[in-house]
Structure 1
Amino acid sequence: MASDMDDFWVFGYGSLMWNPGFLFESKIAARTFGYRRSLCVRSFVHRGTPDRPGLVLGLDRGGSCRGVAFEVHSGQRDAVLSYLRERELVTHVYLERTLPVTLADGRRVQALAYVVDRNHHQYAGGLATGDAADIIAGAQGKSGLNREYVVNTLAHLNEMAIRDPWLEEVAGYLR
């Protein structure tokens, strides 16, 4: 059994939940407080372009967020960190943070998470539902249609019995 000093956890709240892309020992439902899942990041690469940005998820201030915590073996820590930094810090709209996370079994751990930088030019917090849906409907990037990203995210959240009323409302506009 690893000691607490060796524990390395990663909190996923968006595509990391179903497409982590790294090796992990275990995964468990988790929640962090003080942040919420939000379509608040203008995507210039994966789900949009600089000319026609899309919207992707960020962890923004306020509320709480249910997601998944991945326990990573200490021997994989550097490789996972390297991978996540390459994946998440492409345009530096996210800040790498360690957040307190409560696991479904009641344990509390510190987990690496990517929080939106509200001072970054890609930050798009506070959009009305219809405005967010309009942006998403016409955007596409190197990872595909923005609309597919939202629908896929909701499908995975539903599989995990996680409700996200605002995301559901945005998706309703897209249908």
Structure 2
Amino acid sequence: MLTRELISTGAYLESFQDLPEQFRWSRERIETSMRETLARRPQPEEPVWVFAYGSLIWNPLFHFAEKQRATLHGWHRSFCIRLVTARGTSTHPGRMLGLELAGESVGVAFRLREDELVHELMMVWVREMVGGVYQPTWGEVKLADGKTVSAITFVADTAHALYEDDSSIATTAPMIATANGHLGSNRDYLLQLDESLVEHDISDDYVKSLAEAVRVHRTSGGSSSPKS
């Protein structure tokens, strides 16, 4: 399992040596991206929140002051990034989760403490931006208590070479069901996501249907034809 220590010691970044050099970001480039995003903070006097829609929900690793269930309008979950490392390889790629335009995503928002802000955001950035496949974005999220706040989230960079415009279940389920890498199987990530959303009483039909298709694919030996 990914740990805070693996990120803080640099071991996490070093583990991505199989990622093609043109995609691999240095720690310096990652930090620059973080500081540039922070400089675009919409309301400097307000706390910084991070909107989680994937593994940050069940394994955030960074320190936070508060968390709430939250809804981000205008973006939906999509396994739209070709995964050539971590839980896939260049010869047997999987798919990584991102956000694409339209719809909405229900997830968890974390409020960070101001005195820990830069350090804790770097924990997030190293984890999310090792391949530069996301665009860190400020979006308005509605918290469970009814308040609307600005939050950082990571949306798919549609201009990136690893972006895939076909994230249908029919296309992605066979890939996710069989891909593996140095961080484990792509299937385990998806099923953990599905379970975590259920535990947080979050409904996402796309994730649920994709998880069901992957389970069927595995039990049928790969002969299933999941619907898109």
TM-score by length of 2: 0.73
Hey, what does 1:129 align to over in structure 2?
Answer: 169
How large is the RMSD of aligned CA atoms in angstroms?
A: 1.4
Hey, what does 2:71 align to over in structure 1?
Answer: 31
Q: Determine which of 207, 210, 213 is the counterpart of 1:167.
A: 207
Paired with 2:137 and 2:214, the residues of 1 have a C-alpha distance of 32
Q: Determine which of 66, 69, 74 is the counterpart of 2:106.
A: 66
User: What is the CA distance between 1:4 and its match in structure 2?
Assistant: 6.9
The code of the aligned residue for 2:155 comes to V
User: Which range moved further: 123-132 or 112-121?
Assistant: 123-132
Higher relative contact order (CA 8 A, sep 6+): 1
Paired with 1:144 and 1:126, the residues of 2 have a C-alpha distance of 24
TM-score by length of 1: 0.94
Task: Kindly indicate whether the alpha-carbon contact (under 8 Å) linking 2:78 and 2:167 is maintained by their aligned counterparts in 1.
Answer: no
Hey, what does 1:54 align to over in structure 2?
Answer: 94
User: What is the CA distance between 1:126 and its match in structure 2?
Assistant: 2.8
The code of the aligned residue for 1:67 comes to G
Report which of the two structures shows the higher radius of gyration computed on alpha carbons.
Answer: 2
The code of the aligned residue for 1:76 comes to E
User: What is the CA distance between 1:130 and its match in structure 2?
Assistant: 1.9
Q: Which runs of 5+ in 1 are unaligned?
A: none
Aligned-residue identity in percent:
37
Aligned residues: 173
Give the ranges of 4+ consecutive aligned residues of structure 1 lying more than 2 Å apart after TM superposition.
125-128
Hey, what does 1:146 align to over in structure 2?
Answer: 186
